[in-house]
Structure 1
Amino acid sequence: MSGNDTYQTPLASRYASTQMKTIFSARTRASTWRQCWVWLAEAEKELGLDISDEAISQMKANITMTDKDFEVAAVEEKKRRHDVMEAHVHAFGQVAPAAAGIIHWGATSCYVTDNADLIFLRDGLDLLLPKLAVIIHKLAKFAVEYRSMPTLGFTHYQPAQLITVGRRAAQWAQDLLMDLEDITKTREDLRYRGAQGTTGTQASFMEIFHGDGAKIDKLNELLCEKAGFPSCYSISTQTYTRKVDLRVANALAAFGATVQRITGDIRHLASQKEIEEPFEKDQIGSSAMAYKRNPMRCERIAGLGRHLANLNKDASDTYAQQWFERTLDDSAIRRIYIPEMFLSADAICMTLDNVVSGLVVYPNKIHSRLMEELPFMATENIIMKLVSLGESRQDAHEEIRVLSHQASDVVKKEGKNNDLIERIKRTEFFKPVWGEVDGLLDPVNFIGRCPEQVLKYCGENGEIQEALKPYKKYIEESEDVELTV
């Protein structure tokens, strides 16, 4: 039976990177279990347990699971209904016979499964963080480039005071930087489970080391050092607390929400023909409507972001439903949502990198769109100018109100252009400022400190660049992501 005859998750077959799929592959998982057993045997030997050099050597020579190893494990698992203790310990012992009696010495199944999962969480986050940093860097560059280009702002999705194209992008970048900070904090807080015994009491290791607690502490120090973690969690039950999974899920779910927010803006701007995602020369926007340029990349990101933003519910429920020292209802669901969190986030990063690398801006359309609304926004400046010349603010406000309603009717009911300025220039009341009206309509007068704000946040010495310093080398060496689908 071929791969086309059985279901495959689209995250793996279509969207995520090979690197991320490799981290969560069956071979990596089983091989990491074997590595954990090697570390345990090495540490136990260093602390005086009777483990031969040959046993260690055979284990180290067979860390990577072969297809034959998987066949042996599958047969044993079917017989014993236990994938770790019986199936994989048995398979490892087959290829490392000198170690068969000491593999997994003193440990529970969660010694390998949980420690391996923590390694996968760490490695997955380490793969995501630089990708996210590159996206933020590219958005910051875009923001700086367009920091002074006025564009229509919206509140309630109604025209509001002008901002700039770059200032809006700076907002996107700031939200993503918050995600980078949260994910980084989650990554830095990860610890190892280590060797804790069946319910976390270390009782089995007290037996092995004849009640020498100092040796058990040293054992875990050695394990952390070998695995590359700063320390173990102070308290574990049979598992590391599933609160850890929830913390990771919350950070990634927040990222999923952010990208929905950003791509929502881009999709609306594409509909207004102001800003578009990259559109390749031979790309088809619609099978029926040849003229269309659908924002398919942003739509993909939004869909994946929606999935990612909801996976923390699985992690939350799993954590909440762990009874006492553990229940196994966490097993099946964690096999699903942990890889899906990382593959979803990875696919989002790849696609979003592609989008921000080639955003297309249409300055003339942006200008014409804002000029449809600017006359209304300029009225406050006109009123203030009249007041400075001695006119009553109340009288000026009433004159403007009447003309604005008339101009609005022309736009809404007759489908014509906004003629408020022409009406003002024909109304005798406004004669003292006729000569200044056009100058008051310069969009630059309405963007406030947008250019300065963008430079301060996204510029060469801005907050973003300071935050991205740990990723400087990765950013310099990164290439634009080319999507295959």
Structure 2
Amino acid sequence: MSGNDTYQTPLASRYASAEMKTIFSARTRSSTWRQLWAKAEKELGIDISDEAIAQMKAHITMTDEDFVVAAVEEKRRRHDVMAHVHAFGLVAPAAAGIIVSNLIDHSYPYFAKFARLNGPSDHYGATSCYVTDNSDLIFLRDGLDLILPKLATIIFKLSQFAIEYKDMPTLGYTHYQPAQLITVGRRAAQWIQDLLMVLEDITRARSDLRFRGAQGTTGTQASFMEIFHGDGDKVDKLNDILCAKAGFPTCYSISTQTYTRLVDLRVVNALSEFGDVVQRITGDIRHLASQKEMEEPFEKDQIGSSAMGLGRHLSNLNKNASNTYSAQWFERTLDDSAIRRITIPEAFLSADAICMTLDNVVGGLVVYPARIHSRVMEELPFMATENIIMKLVSLGKSRQDAHEEIRVLSHQASDVVKKEGGKNDLIERIKKTPFFQPIIGEVDAMLEPKNFIGRCPEQVLRFCGKGSEVEKALEPYRKHIAASKEVELAV
């Protein structure tokens, strides 16, 4: 049967990067398990031969043949970790007995049965969660480390866009009705601020990650106290060594059979937030494209659609993580295994795919200044009426009288637009009305769009420019951003 005959998730086959797919691949997962087993053997002070250590090191990476063996064994044992223990033991026979010993916890019925089937063995307290949970924490960390610089690059590119268009007036809306002018760059700054919040939340989730380490069946470390004859300092030292080798600052202070599934929820929440924000941004771009003011890159007219769809998927995945966490009773329920295999990789692959698609969108946005100006001038007469009224008041006219005159003319002009399909002729009506004669010569100057954008250019520069909040937030990713720019130039 070929690959075309079986279902493959589009996240892997179509959207996500090779780097992210590698992190959550079966080979990386099982090979990381083997690395953790090898570390456990050595650091627990088990009497193991140099030959055994050499065999384990030589077979850290799972081969295709290993997967075949593990698949057959899993069908028999109905447990993936024990199947991989068997496969690892076959290629590292000198260490096979101790690998099994390290995974047996006699308080866990399945492992007790496994021990009876395979003969007596010492109890070293490293249950299956020692490898699975610690591996998952490594994958969470590595996945976030891949996403963060990509997100930073998107923010940088969008900041360049915002600065370029900081002065270009465009319609601002409330209730999707033209309300006041902003600038094209200021609207982009609104998107950037939301993305910056996502960067901050993902960074926080990344920096808060810890290791589970070696904690035992329910996190009490009782089995390790037995190994070290009641010496708690040695148990702590063991975890210090494991954390250092795995690249984590410390372990969670309290673990059950697993690390708390609230960790998954915090990470997936941050990623799901990214899904919400990308829908918000691409939705704006889609509406602007409908108005013919802005478009995504010509040659990539489906990218925005992909980003919107993937964002919708990602924004809903945190519900799975939430339900999984809340359903854990006491020290573990065991119903978390299957859904985490789906939710966590999908969250990361979705976020990774969004990064790539959104990078393409913001890196090649097409702006139509003439169309933007035309639409501004269609609505600006209505927006300029307050300025006209204030000018008349400054010349001694009654504000109430001026307001009434404007109200009547505005309704007439609005009827022309809505009922007759004509152009907004409010200014022409004002110029023809005797009441406004004292300011006729100044009306055209009062319709200069840049007089209505407030502090938009300044706001953009303060937020995105030199020494800005955005620049400081992107500083840790400066090298990645520079490398990304070099790749673009090469292309």
Query: Would the TM-score normalized by the shorter structure come out above 0.5?
Result: yes
> After superposition, where does 1:28-47 map in structure 2 within 5 Å?
28-45=28-45
Amino acid at match of 1:395: D
Which residue does the alignment assign to 1:194? 213
Q: 2:95 aligns with which of 99, 112, 129?
A: 99
Residues 216-272 of structure 1 deviation map (CA, whole Å, 9 limit, x = unaligned)? 110000000000000000111101010000000110111100000000000000000
C-alpha distance after superposition, 1:84-140 (max 9, x if no partner): 1x2111111111112112223430000000000000000000000000000000000
Aligned residue number for residue 120 of structure 2: none
Specify whether residues 214 and 195 from structure 1 end up closer, same or farther in structure 2 by C-alpha distance, changes over 3 A only. same
User: Is 1:173 matched up with 2:179?
Assistant: no
> What TM-score results when the alignment is normalised by the length of structure 1?
0.94
CA distance in 1, matches of 2:313, 2:151: 18
Deviations 1:350-378 (A, max 9, x none): 00000001000000000000100000000
The one-letter amino acid paired with 2:63 is: T
The aligned residue for residue 288 of structure 1 is none
Cα distance in 1 for partners of 2:57, 2:428 equals 84
Give the Å deviation of 1:296: 2.5
Give the whole-Å Cα distance in 2 for the aligned partners of 1:71 and 1:418. 73
CA distance in structure 2 between the partners assigned to 1:346 and 1:93 by the alignment = 35
- Equivalence map 1:24-173=2 (5 Å): 24-45=24-45, 49-84=46-81, 86-103=82-99, 104=102, 105-173=124-192
State the one-letter code of the partner of 2:441. G
Q: Is the 8 A contact 1:118 1:192 kept in 2?
A: yes
Deviation sequence 1:28-69 (CA, Å, 0-9, x none): 000000011112122223xxx322332222211110000111
Question: Does residue 401 of structure 1 match 2:407?
Answer: yes
Q: Distance in 2 between matches of 1:239 and 1:479?
A: 42
How far does residue 207 in structure 1 lie from its aligned partner after superposition?
1.6
Q: Which of 340, 349, 352 lines up with 2:346 in the alignment? A: 340
Q: 1:480 to 1:255 in 2, by over 3 A?
A: farther
1:12 and 2:12 are equivalent in the alignment: yes
After TM superposition, the runs of 4+ consecutive aligned structure 1 residues lying more than 4 A away are 479-482
CA distance in 2, matches of 1:9, 1:409: 53
**Structure 1 gaps, min length 5:** 284-294
For the residues of structure 1 that align with 2:415 and 2:480, how far apart are their CA atoms?
A: 55
Q: In structure 2, do the counterparts of structure 1 residues 39 and 82 end up closer, same or farther at CA, with 3 Å as the change threshold?
A: same
Return the offset for 1:399: 0.3
Contact 1:357 1:480 in 2 (8 A): no
> Is 1:417 aligned with 2:414?
no
SS in 2 for 1:468: helix
Separation (CA, whole Å) in 2 of partners of 1:478 and 1:263: 22
Q: Is the 8 A contact 1:115 1:193 kept in 2?
A: yes
2:472 to 456, 466, 473: 466
CA distance in 2, matches of 1:443, 1:480: 37
**Residue 481 of structure 1, CA deviation:** 9.0
The separation in 2 between residues aligned to 1:297 and 1:233, in whole angstroms, is 40
**Letter aligned with residue 54 of structure 1:** E
Q: Is the 8 A contact 1:354 1:481 kept in 2?
A: no
Q: What amino acid maps onto 1:416 in structure 2?
A: G
- The size of the alignment, in residue pairs, is 465
Name the residue aligned to 2:106. Answer: none
- Structure 2 partner of 1:390: 396
Select 1:182's aligned residue among 183, 187, 201: 201
Question: Who is 2:380 aligned against?
Answer: 374
Amino acid paired to 2:71: A
Question: Secondary structure of 2:62's match?
Answer: coil
For residues 310-321 of structure 1, the aligned pairs below 5 Å read 310-321=316-327
Contact 2:125 2:217 in 1 (8 A): no
The 3-state SS of whatever aligns with 1:163 is: strand
Percent pairwise identity:
79
User: Matched residues in 2 for 1:417 and 1:296: separation?
Assistant: 34
CA contact (8 A) 2:126 2:216 kept: yes
Paired position in structure 1 for 2:242: 223
Q: For the residues of structure 1 that align with 2:21 and 2:153, how far apart are their CA atoms? A: 20
Question: For residue 110 of structure 2, what is the aligned residue in structure 1?
Answer: none
Residue identity matched to 2:62: M
Distance 1:162 1:356 in 2: 22
Q: Matches of 2:68 and 2:487 in 1, distance apart? A: 37
Match of 2:108 in 1: none
SS in 2 for 1:194: coil
The alpha-carbon deviation at position 480 of structure 1 amounts to 8.9
Give the drift of 1:211: 1.4
Uncovered stretches (5+) of structure 2, i.e. residues with no partner: 103-123
Q: Compute the TM-score of the two structures, normalised by the length of structure 2.
A: 0.93
